Chains A and B, each alone.
Chain A
Amino acid sequence: MEKQLLDILKTNGRIKEEDLAVMLNTSVDEVKSTIERLEKEGVILGYDTLIDWEKTDYEKVIAYIEVKVTPQRGQGFDKVAERIYNYPQVTACSLMSGRYDLFVVVEGKTMKEVALFVAEKLAPIESVLSTATHFVLKKYKDNGIVFNKPRKDKREAVVL
């Protein structure tokens, strides 16, 4: 039931515990205690909302940044990663295999703001060797959801 519960919450963090209990064929108490436990264990870290910012009047720029670094003795990549992800502008940070080491997502209001953050904060960090900034121009799909997809039912109204 734990995997099923996580699968449902992954796509709908707002679902009511009563509904979860019905769907998983269990009691509301069982659902509540399982969620509490998963939160306590740090399996569930938060509840996100998927937003198409393009449809709002708010300005939002997202950049994906490839960062090459020199790992530090005794601490590997963790220390430099921490120096990067502690900035609130950084919304995601992962250690990667391949051509570069850290994959960093930075959000800001304007391209200039993001570019300046990279130039003034990210690039000067001691062990950072190079950065390559890629701005997101258009999101087609995120978190398994296709953006701007017509949600109309294409079926006949009655089929026996």
Chain B
Amino acid sequence: MSIEQMIKENIVNTPPSGIRKYFDLINDMKDAISLGIGEPDFETPWSIREEGIYSLEQGRTFYTSNAGLPELRREISRYMKDRFNLAYQAEDEVLVTVGGSEAIDLAIRTFAGPGDEVIIPEPCFVAYKGCVMFTGATPVTIELKAEHDFKLQPEQVLNAITDKTKAIILGYPNNPTGATMGYDDYKALVEVLKDKNIVVISDELYAELTYKGKHVSIANFPEMKDKTIVINGFSKAFAMTGWRIGFACGHPAAIKQMQKIHQYAIMCSPTTAQFAAIEALKNGLEEVEKMVEEYNRRRLVMVDGFRKAGLDCYEPTGAFYVFPDLRKFGLSSDEFCERLLLEEKVLMVPGNAFGECGEGFARATYATSLENIKEALRRIKRFVDKLNR
């Protein structure tokens, strides 16, 4: 028996993310513009980097406590209260993780296993489905609709719930659609979920990047707070993707078990990143606001540019993505994006990379310079004009 035959079936059966082709194509190209990079184009603000460097100079090269540095957990607790009006005790309701990604994996592993179902509204971040499949649980997907501005509808959830449902994963502000959910949107959803034994795993990595109104978490509803794991982090808001640091907040009973997996699998988050993260929360918010202002301007330019180019798109209000509708061109997302890349050297990610119902759309990010955005829009307009001829 070869090692390949010894691999667990549910690992083999989980498909890899489907964008390898684009990666290979663009890497051989000159003057291509990628609107496919789902991370900030800003470098981490200097004072944060400096704190990381200083911690290394001081020889802070050891493990920290499993849950994370106490000072960092205190800062996270303060931040969540000040910024989002969510109260979590630093001692037992906050867990520092290796990026939001680890927190998502921990939460899923803590609540779902073989025979269970986890509800995943799509299109969404690609890791949710994979992480659910790795546990042996079954992902049950919901198709979010453009006509609802990609907001989750309570009836959809009601229809997806069975007696096997253990958890639902929410990702707002959303990657890839840029959709957000406000207080009223959640209110109706809370009515459906409040009496059910279903955990909400709420991925709020893009919470700071909200352009119309304040970010709302489902955990802001008292009846949901104890049943919700809120996941947030530093990658998107503070431009710290490479540091790999995020966190999970929730009821002590849940955090305790998540921490156990974290302890055995990971030990602790990178120590350097933890020291840098303390500085981010203490003194980094002004820089965050500057970046958010800049994203917002680019957002408006991109939406305007797409519409002027003849692409339909609803106005995204969060994250740094625009999700234009390609359906009127009679091409699949994949055909549209591949031709756009080959003919005009602009990369957008086909919407179906984020779930089947993303078919007919594409994700474009404005986490790139304004000059890049404007040049990309010129090329996209030229491409669309050609398709329309």
Bitwise interface map of B from 1 to 41 toward A, beta carbon under 8 Å scored 1, else 0? 00000000000000001010011001100001010111101
Contact mask for chain A residues 96-126; partner B; CB cutoff 8 A; 1 contact, 0 none: 0000000000000000000000000000000
Residue B362 is within 8 A (CB to CB) of chain A in the complex: no
Contact B39 A158, beta carbon cutoff 8 Å: no
Report chain A residues within 8 Å CB of B364: none
Q: Which residue of A lies closest to B353 (CB)?
A: A160
What's the Cα separation between A160 and B34 when bound, in Å? 12
Instruction: Give Cα distance in the complex from A124 to B132, angstroms.
Output: 81
Instruction: List the B residue with the shortest CB-CB distance to A151.
Output: B369
Q: Looking at the complex, which of A18-26, A68-76, A132-140 is the stretch in contact with chain B?
A: A18-26
Whole-angstrom distance between the alpha carbons of A8 and B290 in the complex? 11
Judge whether A155 and B347 touch: CB under 8 Å.
Answer: no
A57 within 8 A of B: no
Please state if A157 and B38 are interface contacts (CB–CB under 8 Å). Answer: no
Contact between chains at B297 and A23 (CB < 8 Å): yes
A7 proximity list for chain B (CB < 8 A)? 293
Complex interface residues of chain B between 282 and 300 (CB less than 8 A to chain A): 293, 297, 300
* Cα distance A7–B297 in the bound complex, in angstroms: 12
Is B301 touching A156 in the complex (CB atoms < 8 A)?
no
Task: Establish whether residues B300 and A25, one from each chain, have CB atoms under 8 Å apart when the complex forms.
Answer: yes
Judged by a CB distance under 8 angstroms, whether B126 is at the interface is yes
Please determine whether A4 and B26 come into contact, CB atoms closer than 8 angstroms: no
Per-residue interface assignment for chain A, residues 134 to 160, with 1 indicating a CB less than 8 Å from any chain B CB and 0 otherwise = 000000000000000000010111111
Residues of A within 8 A of B353 (CB): 160
Task: Report the separation of the CA atoms of residues A23 and B19 in the bound assembly, to the nearest whole angstrom.
Answer: 31
A19 to B373, CA, bound (A): 12
Closest residue of A by beta carbon distance from B22: A158
Establish whether residues B300 and A22, one from each chain, have CB atoms under 8 Å apart when the complex forms. yes
Q: Residues of B contacting A23 with CB < 8 Å?
A: 297, 300-301
- B20 nearest in chain A by CB position: A158
Which of B17, B22, B37, B41: most chain A Cβ within 10 A?
A: B37
Is B221 on the interface with A (CB-CB < 8 A)? no
Q: Which of A19, A24, A25, A158 contacts B37 (CB 8 A)?
A: A158
Chain B min CB distance to A18 (Å): 10
Majority secondary structure, B binding face: mixed
A66 to B21: give the CA distance in the assembly, Å: 61
Residues of B contacting A8 with CB < 8 Å?
Answer: 297
Cβ–Cβ contact A156 & B37, under 8 A:
yes
B347 pairs with A157, CB closer than 8 A? yes
Closest-CB distance, B105 to chain A (whole angstroms): 16
User: Once the chains are docked, how many angstroms separate the CA of A160 from the CA of B297?
Assistant: 22
In the assembly, what is the distance between CA of A153 and CA of B371, in Å?
13
Mark interface residues in B263-288 (1 if CB within 8 Å of A CB, else 0). Answer: 00000000000000000000000000
Q: Are B349 and A4 in contact (CB under 8 A)?
A: no
Residue in B closest to A18 when the chains form the complex, CB atoms: B304
Q: Tell which of B19, B37, B125 touches A155, judged by Cβ atoms closer than 8 Å.
A: B37
Q: Residue on B with the closest CB to A160?
A: B126
CB pair A155 B39 closer than 8 Å: yes
Contacts A159-B37, A159-B38; is A22 near B304 (CB within 8 Å)? Answer: yes
B304: which A residues are within 8 A, CB to CB?
22
Whole-angstrom distance between the alpha carbons of A13 and B26 in the complex?
A: 33
Question: Which A residues are in CB contact (< 8 Å) with B300?
Answer: 22-23, 25
- Nearest-neighbour CB distance to chain B for A63, whole angstroms, equals 29
Q: Is the CB of A158 within 8 A of B125?
A: no
B179 to chain A, nearest CB (A): 17
A157-B347, A158-B19, A158-B36 known; A4-B301 Cβ under 8 A: no
Is B26 a contact partner of A158 (Cβ separation < 8 A)?
yes
Closest to B302 in A: A22
Which of B41, B347, B354, B374 is in CB contact (< 8 Å) with A158? B347
Interface residues of A, Cβ cutoff 8 Å to B: 4, 7-8, 19, 22-25, 153, 155-160
18 pairs from A and B in contact (CB 8 Å cutoff): A8-B297, A19-B301, A22-B301, A23-B297, A153-B37, A153-B41, A155-B41, A156-B37, A157-B22, A157-B23, A157-B34, A158-B19, A158-B23, A158-B347, A159-B37, A159-B38, A160-B38, A160-B349
Across the A-B interface, give the 5 residue pairs with the lowest CB-CB distance, nearest first: A23-B297, A158-B36, A159-B38, A22-B304, A157-B26
**What 17 additional pairs, Cβ within 8 angstroms, besides A153-B34, A157-B37, A160-B17?**
A7-B293, A19-B301, A22-B301, A23-B297, A24-B297, A153-B37, A153-B368, A156-B37, A157-B32, A157-B34, A158-B22, A158-B349, A159-B36, A159-B39, A160-B19, A160-B125, A160-B349
